[in-house]
Amino acid sequence: MPDCSTNHIETFRKTFLQRWLGWRGVVLFFVLMLISLPFLYRGYRLGQVPVLDPPFDVEEFTRPIPDDENAYHGFEQAYGELVDVPDAEYEAYNAQLETGWDLGTDVLERHLDNNRRALKTWRETCELDQYQPHPYQTQDDGPLIPVIDSRELCRLAEIQIQKSAKLGTPKKALPWIRASLRHAYLIRQRGPINNYQVGVAYFSSSSCVINDWSSHPQLTRTELDEAIQELVTARQLNPEFSEVLKAECLANASLYELWSVELDQHVHDTIGSGEVRLGSNWRAWLEGEPAYTVRLFPHMAQNHLRFIHRDRRDRPAIIHGSVFDATASSPSKSSLLTSHELDTLISQSLISGQSWLSSGLRATDRDEARYRCLLVALAAQAYFRDHGEFPADAAELIPEYLDEIPDDLYSPTPAPLIYRRDGEGAVVYSRFENEIDDGGLEVDYSERSVSNELLELGYRIRSPLTQPLYAPK
């Protein structure tokens, strides 16, 4: 009788399976391996970036400001009320902007008149102390401000300052100076780096107009003291750059969660620049995108927030514009990636080649230097009203006009801003990015003679005795 025991049946089954599979088993094995390889590679890619929560309290940071305290809504209303320059007058408008307001600039005057309502809303909104983009979602529809409209309102305010001065009533410019300064700082709050850089550009423009205004011969010491106070008070609205980096982390994470190959191609075709990074949805999936890039942002924020509070001369070097080099610092207990590991991962992501950390810091350092120089320039003008001349040394401004001469953050060692008399006027400037004193020959972009970059950053302080008296004709 055949052996029908359980062991015999099991042995027969194994032998039959082995005979049937044979070469088929080898083929099946390799087919399964080929199918699983893309999944394994995607898993490997994502495994390179450990999951990390944002290194700050997101709920606290994004807690909504009450609408009646949030300047965002008032600015949005002012943008909606803005009346554009007619196409037929646009060329004349730009030409008159170049020379500034004068009695013959009829197009500028009409544009001011047409926008009284928008300017009233804008100036009233500038009295608020908080600004939060709403809704806080992505850079496409949330935090970014409408640059063209906001810039136009800033230009109109600058025109009002020029107009007040040239009509012989410089004191009437003070409310517009206040609004211009507060607006330049307000729009930086709780928004990403792009918002911050726009605010920096507005302050740069307004500060030049204010410096010119300060040389008006009819201004008094009291009015200049008021301008200094407005500058100092407005500066208190400026957010810490760490707050900007938190907003950048959240905004970028939201933006790249929506990333797609089609969107990348659309942006490239629309603006005619940039790079189509991956080219196909299959490759994007294989590379783990956009999840791979989104996972990087909390690690970048952790690196940035660790060092961002330091003075310029004490910060570590920046690697490829993206992360601080923490090699020389003691390792952070919560850090899952070293600076160089993080830099390598960034170079393989959708944000490869972007240098917004270094560009953002460059903007904030320039902004701080301009603020400090303008403070000294206004104080020197106040001194002139009392003494009929500018001080021979900046130390003469202490303590009546300034508590101290501000530090030059571009100096390699702690040192005050450079101030000196210059003919009938004076000049105040920072050593700027080459960190040396080049003699104050080029402190303004209109003075560049050799390159596209300034040698120093500061202001010419013009004597009121050399300025014309303006009066309406």
Q: How far apart are CA 418 and CA 454, in angstroms?
A: 15
pLDDT tens for 413-437 read: 999 999 999 889 999 999 998 888 8
Residue 10 is predicted with a pLDDT of: 54
In the numeric block, the tokens 């996972």 are attached to 295
**Once rounded to an integer, what is the mean pLDDT over residues 368-394?**
96
* Higher-confidence position of 433 and 124: 124
Average pLDDT over residues 116-136: 89
| DSSP, res 191 | S
Per residue in 278-330, pLDDT tens? Answer: 667 888 888 888 899 999 999 999 999 999 999 899 999 999 989 999 887 76
Instruction: Evaluate whether 322 touches 361 at the Cβ level (below 8 Å).
Output: no
Tell me, yes or no, if the pTM score tops 0.95: no
Q: Is 387 exposed, middle or buried (0-12, 13-18, 19+ CB in 10 A)?
A: exposed
Considering only CA atoms, give the Rg of the chain: 30
Give dist(CA 425, CA 258) in Å, integer: 55
Selected residue with higher pLDDT from 90 and 164: 164
Site of tokens 């969107």 = 263
Task: Name the strand (E) or helix (H) holding 430.
Answer: strand 425-430
What span, in angstroms and rounded, lies between the C-alpha atoms of 75 and 156?
A: 14
pLDDT above 90 for 7 = no
Question: Residue 183: which of 218, 151, 148 has the closest Cα?
Answer: 151
Mean pLDDT across 250-270: 73
Read off the pLDDT of residues 176-201 as tens digits, 9 standing for 90 and up.
999 999 999 999 999 889 899 999 99
pLDDT digits (tens, 9 = 90+) for 66-86: 999 999 999 999 999 999 888
pLDDT band at 449 (very low <50, low <70, confident <90, very high): low
Is 6 a residue whose pLDDT tops 70?
no
Helix (H) or strand (E) holding 42: helix 6-47
Residue 442 Cα to chain centre, angstroms: 25
Alpha helix stretches (DSSP H) within 273-355: 281-286, 291-307, 339-347
Q: What pLDDT shows up at residue 270?
A: 53
Residue 231: closest CA among 122, 382, 97, 359: 382
Q: How confident is the model at residue 229 (pLDDT cuts 50, 70, 90)?
A: very high
φ and ψ at 430, to 5 degrees? -100, 155
Residue 264's pLDDT is: 63
Distance CA 139, CA 17 (A): 60
CA-to-CA distance for 447 and 451, rounded, in angstroms? Answer: 10
Report yes or no: 329 and 335 within 8 Å, Cβ to Cβ.
no
Q: To the nearest whole number, what is the mean pLDDT of the chain?
A: 85
Judging by beta carbons within 10 Å of its beta carbon (0-12, 13-18, 19+), is residue 339 exposed, middle or buried? buried
Residue 138: band (very low, low, confident or very high) from pLDDT cuts 50, 70, 90:
very low
Residue 240's contacts (CB-CB under 8 Å, 6 or more residues apart) are 309
Task: Determine contact, residues 173/213, Cβ cutoff 8 Å.
Answer: yes
User: What pLDDT score was predicted for residue 280?
Assistant: 77
Better-scored residue on pLDDT, 159 or 39: 159
- As given in the structure block, the two tokens for residue 381 are 């003008």
Written as one string, the DSSP assignment of 50-92 is -----SS-HHHHTPPPPGGGBHHHHHHHHHHHPPPPPGGGHHH
